[in-house]
Amino acid sequence: MTQPPNDAGGSSSGLRKFRFGAGGEGNKDEGGARKFVKLAQTAEEYGYDTFAVPDHLGNQVGPLAALGALTQATTTIRLATSVLANGWRHPALLAKEATTIDVLSKGRLELGIGAGWMKEEFDKAGIEFESPGVRIRRLDEALTILDGLMRGETVDFDGEFYKINGLEGSPRPRQGPRPPIAVGGGGPKMLALAAKHADIISVAPGTTPDGKMKLSDMTIEKTAERVDRIRQAAGDRFDEIELNWTIAVIVITDDRVATAEMALKALEQGYPPNIAHDTEFTVDDVLSSPYIAIGSFEEIADQIREVRRRTTMSYVGVFPTQMDAFAPVLAQLKGE
């Protein structure tokens, strides 16, 4: 079983130590592809543990090529994909790219992969956007193949979607027995699949058919329910799995309540546009949500500690545009 970093836990409460993930897309808002490498180097200087690149066909760098560059431009920060769309890459080819990145980075890869969810991108590329059930079954097979090939094993596999005939995984990865695999999800089927295969699980809100995050899934209570679902599905594996979440909104303020009230009004008016207002939120819901961080640096640090206490999630991600704002919070929590 591949263990994520700091698998021994280490906090006085018996919970895992915090880890922190930043990321970048290399889009024009971040200064384009030319400044992408500098963004990752800045994340390393701040003390982030991981730098992740998403996988979209829009205005961003290609994740695998970009991570290849970062293997030489950074020295300590771990390098991740968050997450690759499985329908765009055959697992035999992906395994080779992944282990190459792991070797070049001297063992710093975390391979994040998911079923793919943005229908518009599949349509534009002329790639069939299969039903959720088919995409999940396809991902299940891909994860089985990746597990073997990234260990350097010889794989034979005869499945519904993939057929592998005596292929040996190469190059052998630097990490043993293979780089950690991360899978994210919010729905029961994806969380069960992640519990079966993943070393790291990104606990995300459920989404609407058009890809918006459900506000109803962003409460601390609903998040704890998703963690319990993982615990039940993983069984004895649960203690080996590192749980991640990504903060969607960070607002630094000395008046948490007033800012939360403003956030509620914005939600009612449809902002941010990537959140579906499918339920009524209270100020307490906003201030306790794992996905919304409002307050002073000290208050946000305390909120994150409380999220870990209530859910056991310990691997905190932030969006690229909020990397600077979150850095003082990271400094308070680093090592806990």
The enclosing domain of 193 has a CATH number of 3.20.20.30
Q: Where are the alpha helices (DSSP H) in the chain?
A: 36-46, 63-73, 91-104, 119-125, 132-149, 188-197, 220-234, 256-268, 283-288, 297-311, 323-333
Q: Could you tell me the pLDDT band of residue 112, with boundaries at 50, 70 and 90?
A: very high
Q: Is residue 225 part of a domain?
A: yes
Is residue 33's pLDDT more than 50?
A: yes
Q: Is residue 11 part of a domain?
A: no
Q: Is residue 4 part of a domain?
A: no
Q: Tell me how far apart the alpha carbons of residues 210 and 201 are, in angstroms, rounded to a whole number.
A: 23
Q: Is residue 3 part of a domain?
A: no
Q: Tell me how far apart the alpha carbons of residues 95 and 157 are, in angstroms, rounded to a whole number.
A: 14
* Residue of 31, 76, 70 whose CA lies nearest to 52: 70
Number of domains in the chain: 1
In this predicted model, what pLDDT tens digit does every residue of 62-74 receive, in sequence order?
999 999 999 999 9
Omega within 30 of 0 (cis) for the link into 177: yes
pLDDT of 5 reads: 65
Percent of the chain whose predicted confidence (pLDDT) is above 90? 80
Q: How many CB atoms lie within 10 A of CB 308?
A: 22
Q: Are the beta carbons of 137 and 161 closer than 8 angstroms? A: yes
Reduced to 3 states, what is the DSSP secondary structure of residue 321?
helix
The C-alpha R_g of the chain, in whole angstroms, comes to 19
Q: Is residue 299 part of a domain?
A: yes
Please give the average per-residue pLDDT across 203-208, as a whole number: 86
Q: Is residue 7 part of a domain?
A: no
List the domain range (segments joined by +) for residue 150: 19-333
Q: Is residue 1 part of a domain?
A: no
In this predicted model, what pLDDT tens digit does every residue of 50-95 receive, in sequence order?
999 999 998 899 999 999 999 999 999 999 999 899 999 999 999 9
Q: Could you tell me the pLDDT band of residue 178, with boundaries at 50, 70 and 90?
A: very high
Q: Could you tell me the pLDDT band of residue 8, with boundaries at 50, 70 and 90?
A: very low
* Residue of 317, 21, 245, 2 whose CA lies nearest to 146: 2
DSSP 8-state assignment for residue 239: G
In this predicted model, what pLDDT tens digit does every residue of 269-321 receive, in sequence order?
888 887 888 888 999 999 999 999 999 999 999 999 999 999 999 999 999 88
Please give the average per-residue pLDDT across 228-241, as a whole number: 96
Q: What are phi and psi of 20, to 5 degrees?
A: -130, 130
pLDDT of 87 reads: 92
